[in-house]
Amino acid sequence: MATIAEPARTSLPVVPPSPRNTGIDYELLLDCVHCGLCTAACPTYVELGTEMDSPRGRIYLMRAVTDGRLDLQADVRRHLDLCLDCRACESACPSGVRYGRLIEPFRLYMKKTQGNEPGPIDRLSRLQRWALFHVTPYAERLWLALAPARLLQRTGLDRLLERSGLLDWLPPPLRQLYDMLPRWRRYRGRLPEFLPAHGKKQKVVALFTGCAGAAFFPETNWNTARVLQRLGCDVWVPRGQVCCGALHYHAAEEVKARAFAAINCAVFGQRTVDAIIVNAAGCGAMLKDYAHVLGPTAHAAAGRALARKVRDISEFLVDLKPQRPTHPVKLRAVYHDPCHLCHAQQVRSQPRQLLEWVPELTLVPLDESEICCGAAGSYNLTQPEMAQRLGERKVRHILATGAEAVFTANVGCLLQIGRYLRPCRPEVRVAHPIDVLWASYSGEAW
């Protein structure tokens, strides 16, 4: 497709000819030169092949609406709603287009102007909306909500219900939740507020435990803390921390997202630490973006201070240059890049380095490792058809490798890949890299 020449950039602010206040910095729209290099990285374009479902096409739409040349009709909204906000286009773009700074404010504008037309969140059932915004962001509530399913797994009754066909009678939202639920594993209970370093102290860190991650994969938080302790870090786990706010922010619930962010800034600001450690890609990207999220509020300075301290666990450990683990874990494995780790945070090599530290673990390449698996926060609820297509696409690539385990560093990816892998290959383990790293440090059975 031929490129479209853009007006020359000047020192004066560029404004659209007939502006609508869509909340977008118009200069950012002009960064796109319409080269199309983003299309091959975009999950929805790769699946559908339609221009308006590519980043370039969506930028066309957003600019046309901002200019007043196009009304925000249902078909325009549909193309924009289908975007996963995975930001793979940002990694592929040679012009440095900050797509996240375009789609996020534009979705706020769409929500404000939707009138009586329901948006993707509005089309969910009441149960789904309640679970999404009033259960999922609260770790203790989510843990209690999952208790019946955990009990079924512990007693083996879940397998009996599956064989009998009774699970097919569950309402679709509950059946979807059941299908996503990972197998129950024993863990040590709630993390203490403070875990002292083993041996000579090197660093003092705070651990962000998250909400869904703490409920679905509590052992991963434990393993993160134990690895940090083992490598000479005092670990502080603040009791007052809350959800990072990403779920609300990406659903255009800006006020609630900022409220969560302000609480976290106050809680993590109570002590001086060398780093705030995160083991979930989506949470890490959100926390690192607090300066932007809280920019228009009185908490902007606190947001900048917190964001400067945030490190993904793989970033932190690689920079720490610790003694390598010694216990072998003989395993053929693949690593899937979570979108908000590789694209939003530009962290790619470090998780692979952690896995390469493990003796006898063989890491094999995964095709389309940086293409979204379809989880994307609430996307698998609001866009279930596309989420399923992307989940099944990811599993096909995993199966082609003959891997015995899949590692990825985000709770949504762990749930999504596990959901579509279990029906065909339930013996393939889906886990966080820190889980196998702890097994290699400690000698505990993998």
What pLDDT band is residue 17 in, cutting at 50, 70 and 90?
Answer: low
What is the average pLDDT score of the chain? 91
Span of 40-44, 130-134, 366-370, 399-403 with lowest mean pLDDT: 130-134
- Res 13: pLDDT: 56
Q: Which residues contact 370 (CB under 8 A, 6 or more apart)?
A: 41, 88, 91, 337, 339, 342, 343
Residue of 126, 125, 130, 85 whose CA lies nearest to 108: 85
Tell me: do 166 and 270 sit in the same domain.
Answer: no
pLDDT surpassing 80 at residue 187? no
DSSP codes of every residue in 125-144: -HHHHHHHHHTTT-HHHHHH
- Res 124: pLDDT: 84
Torsion angle defined by CA atoms of residues 227, 368, 414 and 323, in that order, rounded to the nearest 10 degrees: -10
Q: Which residues contact 324 (CB under 8 A, 6 or more apart)?
A: 357
Query: What percent of the chain lies above the pLDDT cut of 70?
Result: 96
- Res 407: pLDDT: 98
Tell me: do 292 and 397 sit in the same domain.
Answer: no
Query: What percent of the chain lies above the pLDDT cut of 90?
Result: 73
Q: List helix spans (H) across 68-118.
A: 74-81, 88-92, 100-112
Q: Which of 282, 298, 318 is the last residue of a domain?
A: 318
What pLDDT band is residue 327 in, cutting at 50, 70 and 90?
Answer: very high
Tell me: do 299 and 376 sit in the same domain.
Answer: no
Tell me: do 385 and 437 sit in the same domain.
Answer: yes
Range 432-443 average pLDDT = 97
Span of 36-45, 101-110, 146-155, 392-401 with lowest mean pLDDT: 146-155
DSSP-assigned letter for residue 428: S
Structure tokens of 12?
Answer: 């004066």
Are 80 and 62 contacting, i.e. CB atoms less than 8 angstroms apart? yes
Q: Which residues contact 71 (CB under 8 A, 6 or more apart)?
A: 65
- Res 445: pLDDT: 86
In terms of residue numbers, what domain contains 396? Answer: 326-442
257: alpha, beta or left? (left if phi > 0; alpha if psi -120 to 50): alpha
- pTM (predicted TM-score): 0.91
What is d(CA 389, CA 415) in angstroms, rounded to the nearest whole number?
15
DSSP codes of every residue in 40-72: GG-HHHHHH--GGGSHHHHHHHHHHHHHTSS--
Q: Which residues contact 73 (CB under 8 A, 6 or more apart)?
A: none
pLDDT surpassing 80 at residue 444? yes
Tell me: do 201 and 312 sit in the same domain.
Answer: yes
- Res 9: pLDDT: 47
Range 11-32 average pLDDT = 78
CATH number, domain of 73, equals: 1.10.1060.10
Tell me: do 165 and 273 sit in the same domain.
Answer: no
Range 89-116 average pLDDT = 91
What pLDDT band is residue 15 in, cutting at 50, 70 and 90?
Answer: low
- Res 170: pLDDT: 74
Whether residue 282 lies inside any domain: the answer is yes
- Side chain identity, residue 163: R
Whether residue 36 lies inside any domain: the answer is yes
Distances (CA, A) of 34 to 40, 66, 145: 13, 17, 47
- Which has more pLDDT, 182 or 319? 319
Tell me: do 165 and 58 sit in the same domain.
Answer: no
Whether residue 82 lies inside any domain: the answer is yes
Distances (CA, A) of 332 to 112, 349, 428, 429: 49, 18, 10, 11
Range 21-47 average pLDDT = 93
What pLDDT band is residue 294 in, cutting at 50, 70 and 90?
Answer: very high
Structure tokens of 98?
Answer: 């900050």
Element (H, E) at 219: helix 218-230
The domain total for the chain is: 4
Q: Which of 280, 298, 318 is the last residue of a domain?
A: 318
Whether residue 1 lies inside any domain: the answer is no
Helix (H, G, I), strand (E, B) or coil at 291: helix
Tell me: do 225 and 294 sit in the same domain.
Answer: yes
Whether residue 185 lies inside any domain: the answer is no
CB atoms closer than 10 angstroms to residue 118 = 10
What is d(CA 418, CA 319) in angstroms, rounded to the nearest whole number?
30
Are 355 and 392 contacting, i.e. CB atoms less than 8 angstroms apart? no
pLDDT surpassing 60 at residue 368? yes
- Res 260: pLDDT: 97
Whether residue 432 lies inside any domain: the answer is yes
pLDDT surpassing 50 at residue 347? yes
Whether residue 2 lies inside any domain: the answer is no
pLDDT surpassing 90 at residue 296? no
Whether residue 86 lies inside any domain: the answer is yes
What is d(CA 354, CA 414) in angstroms, rounded to the nearest whole number?
18
CA 296 and chain centroid, separation? 24
Tell me: do 307 and 199 sit in the same domain.
Answer: yes
Distances (CA, A) of 404 to 104, 180, 334, 430: 38, 20, 8, 9
- Res 16: pLDDT: 59
- Res 6: pLDDT: 47
- List, for residues 156-166, the tens digit of each pLDDT value: 887 887 788 77
- List, for residues 216-235, the tens digit of each pLDDT value: 999 999 999 999 999 999 99
- Res 290: pLDDT: 96
pLDDT surpassing 90 at residue 154? no
Distances (CA, A) of 315 to 41, 200, 237, 319: 24, 21, 19, 6
- Res 319: pLDDT: 96
